[in-house]
Amino acid sequence: MSEVTITIDGQEVTVPAGTTVLQAARMAGIEIPTLCHDPELTSPGACRLCVVEIEGMRNLPASCVTTAGDGMVVNTISPDVMDARKTVIELLLANHPEDCLTCERTGQCRLQEYAYHYGVRGDVFHGDRTEFPIDDSNPFIVRDLNKCIRCGKCVRVCDEVQGRSIYSFAYRGFDSIPATAMDESLAESECVFCGSCVSVCPTGALTEKMMHGVGRSWELEKIKTTCPYCGVGCNFDLNVKDGKVVGVTSNAESEVNGRALCVKGRFGYNFIDHPDRLTKPLIKKDGEFQEATWEEAINLVAEKFTQIKQEHGGDALALFSSARCTNEENYLANKFCRAVLGTNNIDHCARL
């Protein structure tokens, strides 16, 4: 494959032909702000935040849709570029509720981050504010379109990754928003609540309902793990605060699934600390379960299994292992059954 060399902010970068200026900059470690761009989706070049100056070009092109040409000289931080970006952010803030104090996205919001970075305050333009009712008709996703910046990522991810096409841009101009067919609520739509749109939304327009109020983004510890539900084996981050799992978010580094998840993986974590969880060993006495210590329970089981084995042989015992236990646990179950109980009577629900 042929290569091209371009100069970005005085730094020479050699990239494969066909690379965009944005990608080339990122490869060189130069950060260009974006709102509508996403590496896994098509680029509409719509938000115009990623504009740069390229020698010999009159306007400021959007770097996400401009292909790097050999010998190109790019400036990503010229005064004109900074001004243009500022204006983009000012216009967005003019029609944005000043709700950062309680907004769920605070700390992770791209708009907030760029406003801070470019020193833009919300009082430059006093535009009309659109007012949309909040859609929280379903248990999973809250849609507050008043915070929507029309980047269209939700539209594209649902179409390009999920293949569902729940949203499309409805209405024109000022009122243009990503709406569902017939403008119905998500609950009424064909949405399958995979949450992909939430995972790409750069602002607080789409948020995980069950994560509302559980903690600020910077308070949450993220631990990457594998989904306990189906055999696809998606990876995601468990979000932990004060020793409690308070949410699940995508981890783009997941080999199998990228950021995609299904409703079970993303929203099915509440069972972890459900009040029904068994917390103590229980021994049945006269038909009633009574709490016991581990020592009592283990000794009783050991004694009974040993007795059965002595009286009737190992084959009078059997073990059901679990497709929900780890490999290490299944290995031990297999060893325990064969070596300790003395029987090959071990199976699990593979057939169900």
Partner 1 sequence: MHEIAGADFILAIGTNTTETHPVLSLQVRKAVKEGAKLVVADPRRIELADIAETHIQHKSGSDLALLNAMANVIIEEGLWNREFVEQRTEDFEALSQAVKDCTPEWAAETTGVSAETIRETARAYAGAEKASILYTMGITQHICGTDNVLAIANLALLTGQIGRENTGVNPLRGQNNVQGACDMGALPNVYPGYQAVNNPDMQQKFEKAWGVELSPKAGLVVGEMMDAAYAGTLKGLFVIGENPLMSDPDSNHVIQAMDKIDFLVVQDLFLTETAEKADVILPAASFAEKNGTFTNTERRVQRVRKAVEPIGDSKPDWEILVMLSNAMGYPMQYGSPGDIMKEINAVTPQYGGITFERLEKQGLQWPCPDVDHPGTKFLHKDKFARGKGKFHAVSHVDPDEVPDEEYPYVLTTGRRLFHYHTGSMSRRAKGLAEAYPEEYLEVNPKDALKLEVETGGKVRVASRRGEIEIPIRVTERIQPGLVFASFHFRETWLNKLTNDARDPIAKIPEFKVSAVKIEKVV
Residues in 99-158 at the binding interface with partner 1, rule: CB under 8 A: 138-140
Q: What would the two tokens of residue 243 be?
A: 């020793």
Which listed option, ligand SF4, partner 1, none, makes contact with residue 195 (CB within 5 to 8 Å by class)?
Answer: ligand SF4
Q: What would the two tokens of residue 282 be?
A: 């229980």
* Choices 77-85, 104-112, 117-125, 255-263; region in contact with partner 1 by CB under 8 A: 255-263
Q: Which of 198, 272, 261 is nearest to 226 (CA)?
A: 261
Task: State the minimum distance, in angstroms, from the CB of residue 248 to ligand SF4.
Answer: 9
Which residue of 58, 131, 294, 310 would you call a contact of partner 1, by CB under 8 A?
294
Task: State the minimum distance, in angstroms, from the CB of residue 349 to partner 1.
Answer: 6
What does the alpha-carbon distance between residue 71 and residue 163 come to, in Å, rounded to a whole number? 39
Q: What is the DSSP letter of 64?
A: G
Between 61 and 195, name the residue whose CB sits nearer to ligand SF4.
195
Q: What is the DSSP letter of 341?
A: I
Assess contact for 75 and 45: CB atoms under 8 A.
no
Q: Is 96 exposed, middle or buried (0-12, 13-18, 19+ CB in 10 A)?
A: buried
Q: Give yes or no for residue 338 binding ligand SF4 (CB under 6 A).
A: no
Between 72 and 158, name the residue whose CB sits nearer to ligand SF4.
158
Q: Give yes or no for residue 341 binding partner 1 (CB under 8 A).
A: yes
Q: Which of 150, 97, 95, 99 is nearest to 127 (CA)?
A: 95
Task: State the minimum distance, in angstroms, from the CB of residue 154 to partner 1.
Answer: 16
Q: Which of residues 131-170 bind ligand SF4 (CB under 6 A)?
A: 141, 157-158, 162, 164, 166
Assess contact for 51 and 73: CB atoms under 8 A.
no
Which listed option, ligand SF4, partner 1, none, makes contact with residue 8 (CB within 5 to 8 Å by class)?
Answer: none
Between 85 and 150, name the residue whose CB sits nearer to ligand SF4.
150
What three-state secondary structure class fits 141? strand
Q: Give yes or no for residue 26 binding partner 1 (CB under 8 A).
A: no
**Per-residue x/- marks for ligand SF4, 175-204, CB under 6 A?**
----------------xxxxxxx-------
Task: State the minimum distance, in angstroms, from the CB of residue 235 to ligand SF4.
Answer: 9
Q: CB under 8 Å to 192, separation ≥6 — which residues? A: 162, 164, 262, 263
Task: State the minimum distance, in angstroms, from the CB of residue 206 to partner 1.
Answer: 15
Q: Which of residues 308-327 bind partner 1 (CB under 8 A)?
A: 308, 312, 314-327
Q: Is 241 exposed, middle or buried (0-12, 13-18, 19+ CB in 10 A)?
A: middle
Q: CB under 8 Å to 282, separation ≥6 — which residues? A: 289, 290, 291, 292, 297
Q: Which of residues 217-236 bind partner 1 (CB under 8 A)?
A: 221, 223-235
Which listed option, partner 1, ligand SF4, none, makes contact with residue 324 (CB within 5 to 8 Å by class)?
Answer: partner 1
Q: Which of 218, 213, 207 is nearest to 146 (CA)?
A: 207
Q: Which of residues 239-268 bind ligand SF4 (CB under 6 A)?
A: 257, 261-262, 264-265
Task: State the minimum distance, in angstroms, from the CB of residue 4 to partner 1.
Answer: 28
Q: Which of 247, 36, 249, 267 is nearest to 148 (CA)?
A: 36
Which listed option, ligand SF4, partner 1, none, makes contact with residue 117 (CB within 5 to 8 Å by class)?
Answer: none
Q: What would the two tokens of residue 301 be?
A: 């089981």
Assess contact for 207 and 197: CB atoms under 8 A.
no
Binding interface with ligand SF4 (CB under 6 A): 141, 157-158, 162, 164, 166, 191-197, 227, 229-230, 232-234, 257, 261-262, 264-265
